[in-house]
Amino acid sequence: MRAPLCLLLLVAHAVDMLALNRRKKQVGTGLGGNCTGCIICSEENGCSTCQQRLFLFIRREGIRQYGKCLHDCPPGYFGIRGQEVNRCKKCGATCESCFSQDFCIRCKRQFYLYKGKCLPTCPPGTLAHQNTRECQERSPSQKKGRKDRRPRKDRKLDRRLDVRPRQPGLQP
């Protein structure tokens, strides 16, 4: 008679422990290694709600996603503060690091940074700086064609006097 009673108590204890274990997986206190900074955490999906000043970063792997609470968003992401949740959002496709969706800080390898945008080539009037991958404004002495041109004042004087440069091979 004692053996069945012990077996019954053992099964009841196992069922109780299983239910307790399931509750721990659904809602964590944030004390575990993977749930640091979380208010709500699950073993399968990580954090779904973070403490007030932290950012929720959701990492996607195939069809699964896993949340983590961070002080700062990782490279390639920027933080958006909201009323209920702060989130990490991915930078634009050409951007390696950004301040917001519309303002890049560093571009991916084949692009150049110009006024917060990542461009395949630098716009006219700028030079590509290879080390920083940034477009820099040209100084007046670097602008194409400016060295050989005469000051505008001299050209106006030539027009008034109707002095035109001769073309080679033509007689006056």
pLDDT, one tens digit per residue, over 10-55 is 545 554 544 434 333 333 343 444 688 999 998 888 999 999 999 9
What is the rounded distance in angstroms from the CA atom of residue 38 to the CA atom of residue 53? Answer: 11
Residue 67's SS3 state is: strand
- The residues that bridge with 65 in the sheet, in sequence order, are 60
Intrachain domains 34-90 and 97-139 with the same fold: yes
Domain 97-139 has CATH 2.10.220.10: yes
Give 34-90's CATH code, choosing from 1.10.10.10, 3.40.50.720, 2.70.98.10, 2.10.220.10. 2.10.220.10
pLDDT, one tens digit per residue, over 69-95 is 999 999 999 999 998 899 999 999 999
What is the rounded distance in angstroms from the CA atom of residue 142 to the CA atom of residue 117? Answer: 23
Domain boundaries, the chain: 34-90, 97-139
H-helix or E-strand spanning residue 168 = none
Mean per-residue pLDDT over the chain, rounded: 76
Q: Which two tokens stand for residue 62?
A: 């195939």
Task: Answer yes or no: is pLDDT of 125 > 70.
Answer: yes
Cβ(125)–Cβ(137) below 8 Å: yes
